[in-house]
Amino acid sequence: MDAFNLLKADHRKVEELFQQLESATGKKKLDVFAQIKTELDLHAHIEEKVFYPALEKPSETHDLTMEAYEEHEQVKTLLRQLARARTVNDEWEAKAKVLQENVEHHVEEEENELFPKAGDVLEDEEIEALGMRMEEEKTRKQRGSSKSSKSSKKAAGKAANKTAGTKKAAAKAAKRVSRPSGSTTKKSGSKKSGKKRSGAKKR
């Protein structure tokens, strides 16, 4: 798959998710948004790491590429703000609409302006190579996210086990403190030895 078709496929996928977001309600809306965020984060990553650097130097694509970087930052800011929410309210809905409009504007500029100019400055082999590199980077990023998710779950499990172990140790320590000591016996023994010493003085 060449670079343009790969990125267009991502664009169509996100468009479908935004349509689902409009019809979803409550918790389902947050779930759909989480998918949108995952897709946009990954899409922006492969563009910024592979695609845009190839278009920064040519004068025909330089300005549009720099503008695309800025638009990405605006989208990322909105994604972070929306991701903090635990419930959907009117303010969240308004920001989600702004996010959708920003993404649609960005997609329109890329497909109608940047891609045609990039097609003029890049050779067919370069376009194919960029597509392959973006696919590889996407796979690598997805695997990395999966591993970090698993490791965070393991860390949470270890922390829970550690807490349980600490509670058990504290309970055992409390039991030891509550047990009676043999101090009474020792005291009576010391009194007896004292009597013997006093008897020796009388002699």
pLDDT tens per residue across span 179-201: 554 544 444 444 444 444 444 44
What percent of the chain shows pLDDT beyond 70? 71
Assigned token pair, 39: 């897709």
pLDDT of residue 145: 75
Identify the residue with better confidence: 101 or 174: 101
The confidence band for 96, taking pLDDT boundaries of 50, 70 and 90, is: very high
- pLDDT of res. 9: 97
**Of 17, 67, 72, whose CA–CA distance to 46 is shortest?**
72
Tell me which of 44 and 200 has the higher pLDDT: 44
- Please give the distance of CA 82 from its chain centroid, rounded to a whole number: 14
What value does the mean pLDDT take over residues 43-72?
97
Q: How far is residue 54's CA from residue 61's CA, in Å, rounded to a whole number?
A: 9
Tens digits of per-residue pLDDT, 132-149? Answer: 999 999 999 988 877 666
The residues, any chain, with a CB within 8 Å of residue 52's CB and separated by 6 or more, are: 65, 68, 69
Domains defined for the chain, CATH in brackets = 3-145 (1.20.120.520)
Q: How far does the chain reach from its first CA to its final CA, in angstroms?
A: 114
* pLDDT band (50, 70, 90) for residue 2: very high
What integer pLDDT is reported at residue 120 of this predicted model?
96
Q: Can you state the angle between helices 3-23 and 26-46, rounded to 10 degrees?
A: 170
Please determine, for residue 78, whether its predicted confidence score (pLDDT) is greater than 80: yes
Alpha helices in 47-182, H assignment, sequence order: 59-83, 90-109, 115-121, 124-178
3 state SS of 25: coil
Per-residue tokens: 94: 């308004």
